[in-house]
Amino acid sequence: MQTILLGVSSLRSSRLAYGCWRVAGSWDPTKVTPPGRAAGHRAIVAAYEAGYTLFDNADIYSGGEAERILGEVLKEVSGMRARVLLATKCGIRPAGTPHPHSPQRYDFSKAHILDSCEQSLKRLGVETIDLYMLHRPDFLAAPEEIAGAFTQLKSSGKVRYFGVSNFRPTLVTALQVACPMPLVVHQVEISLAKMDSFTDGTLDQCLIEKITPMAWSPLAAGLLGGGAHDLLPSQEAYRPEPFLPAIDAVAKDRGASRTTVALAWLLKHPCGIQPIVGSINPDRIRQAATADELELTREEWYRLLLAARGEPLP
Ligand code: NAP
């Protein structure tokens, strides 16, 4: 697979990243089973062998199980830790933690960021996280306080680089102004079914600030591939059926699959969007890894944009 540098950092990653959100087999940690974990191990190994070198994770994925599974694979596969970049996130606190009556909330307090990082390092079984992101914007986000946490994590060698996820561009700016280190990625949902980032300033800011946009759910959680098993509530209203034939037509023309065309559509954007592939099926993981071999023409790109918009451009 081709490689890219993330933002202005020295982190060189595979062109597509692998996402560990689904590797435990269930989002509910009480429903994670040994066969489900074993499938997650196989998926991560398949991704590594297919050339993905950035593994995206988060403290809340399956209550920490996704980080534990990745940590186990890193121990099992000789030399893997040195060849991959580990990315994970903090800042979402589910209801019931730490007290039974605690509400669901976001928490970018210094104490929570520092503690979350310690816990992620333990679950991953490593001493350093390459890329640490704030998962969803805390309504009470205080940039100076976050900058203090980041500075401490960087100077202690626990984190190499930082990024954000699902932020408004103005909050990225507010945080960047306070931080002495560059924010190198912005992880947002981008796909033919979710194109807000093209027009809400997110990708413009990535171009200006040289931030790498990482695209989560690049296949709209499977709706642009062979079908979705689990959608987020925000994805349930997606109706890609009307434009799937347009993707299939390009795929047929180019002798490619629908999946690789949908991913190649993201790769074409000049700000260097990095799709995060979320399948746990080894064949699909391998197929998605070939998307960087397909360069769409501007005409093909716009044909897909128009089909997905469902209306002409002005
Ligand atoms: P995705 O690649 O759009 O969807 C993967 C899902 O699509 C899997 O359930 C997969 O099922 C299914 N699928 C169906 N046909 C497929 C095909 N032909 N090829 C590949 N997959 C196909 O991505 P995602 O899993 O929704 O998200 C990717 C990553 O983004 C996550 O792992 C996580 O790291 C990150 N993420 C971040 C946020 C955030 O807020 N920052 C939110 C969500 C996700 P099979 O497994 O059966 O193939």
Tell me, what CATH number does 89's domain have?
3.20.20.100
Indicate yes or no: pTM above 0.85: yes
Tens of pLDDT along 52-67? 999 999 999 999 999 9
* Identity of residue 80: M
Tell me how far apart the alpha carbons of residues 165 and 171 are, in angstroms, rounded to a whole number: 11
Tell me how far apart the alpha carbons of residues 165 and 254 are, in angstroms, rounded to a whole number: 33
Q: Catalytic: which of 18, 48, 52, 61?
A: 61
Q: Quick count: other Cβ atoms within 10 Å of Cβ 208?
A: 12
**Is 260 domain-assigned?**
no
β strands within the chain, DSSP E: 3-5, 12-14, 17-19, 54-56, 85-90, 92-93, 105-106, 129-134, 159-165, 183-189, 212-216, 274-277
Residue nearest to atom 11 of ligand 1 (CA): 279
**Is 25 domain-assigned?**
yes
Q: Could you tell me if 75 and 45 are in contact, meaning their C-beta atoms sit under 8 angstroms apart?
A: no
pLDDT of residue 63: 96
Residue nearest to atom 38 of ligand 1 (CA): 216
Please indicate whether residue 61 is annotated as part of the active site: yes
Q: Which residues pair with 93 in a beta bridge?
A: 105
pLDDT of residue 276: 98
Tell me how far apart the alpha carbons of residues 191 and 281 are, in angstroms, rounded to a whole number: 20
Distance 18 CA to ligand 1 centre (A): 9
**Is 313 domain-assigned?**
no
Q: How many helices (H) and strands (E) does the chain have?
A: 12, 12
**Is 16 domain-assigned?**
yes
The ligand 1 atom nearest the CA atom of 136? 40
Structurally, the chain folds into a number of domains equal to: 1
The ligand 1 atom nearest the CA atom of 57? 34
**Is 51 domain-assigned?**
yes
**Is 314 domain-assigned?**
no
Tell me how far apart the alpha carbons of residues 154 and 187 are, in angstroms, rounded to a whole number: 20
Smallest CA-to-CA distance from 28 within 59, 73, 55, 61 is with 61
Tens of pLDDT along 153-190? 999 999 999 999 999 999 999 999 999 999 999 999 99
Q: Could you tell me if 223 and 235 are in contact, meaning their C-beta atoms sit under 8 angstroms apart?
A: yes
Smallest CA-to-CA distance from 87 within 185, 175, 195, 224 is with 185
Return the DSSP state at 130.
Answer: E
Q: Quick count: other Cβ atoms within 10 Å of Cβ 17?
A: 30
The ligand 1 atom nearest the CA atom of 21? 32
**Is 43 domain-assigned?**
yes
**Is 169 domain-assigned?**
yes
Tell me how far apart the alpha carbons of residues 13 and 44 are, in angstroms, rounded to a whole number: 16
Distance 26 CA to ligand 1 centre (A): 13
pLDDT of residue 86: 98
User: Averaged over 213-220, what is the pLDDT?
Assistant: 98
User: Averaged over 270-287, what is the pLDDT?
Assistant: 98
pLDDT of residue 17: 98
Distance 147 CA to ligand 1 centre (A): 31
Range of the structural domain that residue 163 is part of: 3-240+270-293
Cα–Cα distance list, 115 to 112, 120, 158, 204 (Å): 5, 9, 12, 33
| Binding pocket residue ranges, ligand 1, CB within 6 Å | 19-22, 56, 135, 165-166, 187, 216-222, 225-229, 259, 276-281, 284, 288
Distance 264 CA to ligand 1 centre (A): 16
The ligand 1 atom nearest the CA atom of 226? 15
Distance 60 CA to ligand 1 centre (A): 16
